Amino acid sequence: MVTLYYFKRKFLSNKIIYFWEKESQTHKSVEAFLRNNGSLPIKRYSYSDIKKMANFFRDKLGEGGFGGVYKGKLQDGCLVAVKLLKESRSNGDEFINEVASISRTSHVNIVTLIGFCFEGSKKALIYEFMPNGSLEKFIYKENRSKADCHLEWETIYKIALGIAHGLEYLHRGCNTRILHFDIKPYNILLDENFCPKISDFGLAKICPKEVSIISMLDARGTIGYVALELTCRNIGKVSHKSDVYSYGMMVSEMVRGRKNIDTEVDRTSELFFPHWIYKRLELDEELGLHGLMNEEHHESARKMIIVSLWCIQIDPSNRPPMNRVLDMLKGSLDSLQIPPKPFVSSPT
């Protein structure tokens, strides 16, 4: 009993020491970043300001991989979204990534970061408020509530186009290339007019050319659509083409209105949607999609499918850059070629 008590106390003592050392290192890392970037065009708030702003966290909007998001209001009455960051093992990397990358941006399809809080272990980010929430609740049938409308095909197409514009800006329009690495419907926010804005830059990397594969492997478990080069070294280098892959997988789900991998279907040939829809295109068959009311709908759906299949090619070098994706979406359907089959076989 005495021996067990001794080891228990020793274990707890070491755990507390580790926690404080970790918090101290996190604090030093973040404060060093803030000192080196003293001219950030965003405001720093105290934690007491954050609590008042978010009405003591009574109105929760959602829960992301890095923390809860709450509805708030600035002193001037402007609505905001307050994201409280969870404690993590990353020494504040997600906070630094978000502030460093998003504060460099200014684009209609990138969410605006208004301010932040860093006070001890308390870390928060303040964004512009998006009244229609995230894209996932509109495109997945199982997530739609009675209050959420079914998006018309014109709106789906415009959202896909807006996201492509946002990614093209991150990859080519900034002073330094920003790779998002977490493009998925949950991280696409919609304003009152359903204009899409890319959010959640916790995994983002600022890099002029490419990013180390090793640095991404630790985070791959939280990525929505994982490009193969993030896990297989022999596929190709990790680059902006990894975002292109994620975009293609997301557009595929936007077209279908369900997850790409569907375990509820009766036939295994329909289990993986991109594989199934590719066969339809190859045989020039009816797409079998709901809500296609006219020829314009059919054309935009077909363009989005072809573009998505190009984006999810196994070899990153075969995927188009985002400026080419925009050209394909805006161009005529007749000018698009059906890409090679994106997968040798359906994934298990």
CA separation (Å) from 129 to 54, 70, 170, 199? Answer: 12, 10, 21, 11
**Minimal CA–CA distance to 276: which of 246, 247, 255, 297?**
255
Amino acid at 179: L
Q: Cβ distance 313 to 321 under 8 Å?
A: no
Q: Please state, in angstroms and rounded to a whole number, the distance separating the CA atoms of residues 197 and 81.
A: 14
What DSSP line would sit under 264-309, residue for residue?
T-SSGGGSBHHHHHHHHHHTT-----TT--SHHHHHHHHHHHHHHH
Query: Tokens for 197?
Result: 């804005």
Task: For residue 182, indicate whether it is catalytic.
Answer: yes
Phi and psi for 48 in degrees, rounded to 5?
Answer: -65, -35
Amino acid at 54: A
From 49, 59, 76, 182, active-site residue: 182
Q: Where are the alpha helices (DSSP H) in the chain?
A: 2-36, 47-53, 93-102, 136-139, 153-168, 213-217, 241-256, 273-282, 295-311, 322-330
* Catalytic positions: 182
